[in-house]
Amino acid sequence: MPVVTVQLFASYAELVGSPAIVVPLAEGDTVSDLLRSLRSMPPASMLPDAPRIAVNRVFAQHSTLVQPGDEIALIPPVAGG
Amino acid sequence: MSRSTLVDRPIDATALIAEVTSPACGAIALFIGTVRDTNDGRTVTGIEYTAYLAMAEAELARILAEAVRLFDRPAIAIEHRIGTLDVGEISVAIVAGHAHRAPALDSVRYVIEQLKKRVPIWKREHYSDGERAWIDPTAPDCEVVA
């Protein structure tokens, strides 16, 4: 089964205990499906229900399709400046 | 011109001013963000900044392109620091040059406000009691306003 690597940063990386997590991906999966798969994996169950997510370095909608090879990242509340 | 960079060395605001200065400029606006010694009643001894570097650079470039389009093509330069900073150090500097003051000032304001909403940079405050905490500006009890 294809997979994607989801990058984690800052507080999310700390919650999960890792900077990345590999998630199985089915054909036609959207960001929303990916989040559901991710949250069913024990280390990721601590993550919030609807985090912001970036696909290929752009903020994505939960309806965005995810393809194998996409660069996926969960974005905790940003605090630059 | 517009230029954005994340850096892991001290920010030289004077060098940024020189970058946007030209004979066509009648106004140069500068914003500097610095590390404050208190937050929410606690004594802060430093702030650790981390980023999703590739996306942060891309998002900053998009914000600068928007400002150039919205405010009559100012020249803009921005640097944001990554790493652990002491109190008083510069975390971000934004400079805009234009023939007139309004586009210069408006550009700087636009860039810092958008940065705070959209650029994937995070900060963890270090406190005098040894504790550390990630700052979440969206949390209801958070008073981060810098």
ipTM of predicted assembly, 2 dp: 0.94
Within the 21-60 window of chain B, which residues sit less than 8 Å (CB to CB) from chain A? 33, 49-52, 54-56, 58-59
pLDDT of residue B143: 47
| Tokens matching residue B85 | 């900073």
B128 min Cα distance to partner chain A (Å): 21
pTM: 0.94
Domain, as residue range, for A37: 3-75
Residues 6 or more apart in contact with residue A31 via CB below 8 angstroms: A53, A55, A60, A61, A62, A63, A64, A66
Helix or strand or coil: residue A41?
Answer: coil
CATH number for the domain spanning A25: value is 3.10.20.30
B3 min Cα distance to partner chain A (Å): 17
Domain presence at residue A55: yes
Domain presence at residue A14: yes
Domain presence at residue A81: no
Domain presence at residue A54: yes
Run of H or E residues at B16: helix B13-20
Segment A10-69, tens digit of pLDDT: 999 999 999 999 999 999 999 999 999 999 998 898 899 889 999 999 999 999 999 999
Domains of chain B: 2-33+51-121 (3.90.1170.40)
- The count of domains in chain A is 1
pLDDT of residue A45: 87
Beta-sheet pairing, A20-24 with B132-134: unpaired
Cα distance between residue B126 and residue B25, in whole Å: 41
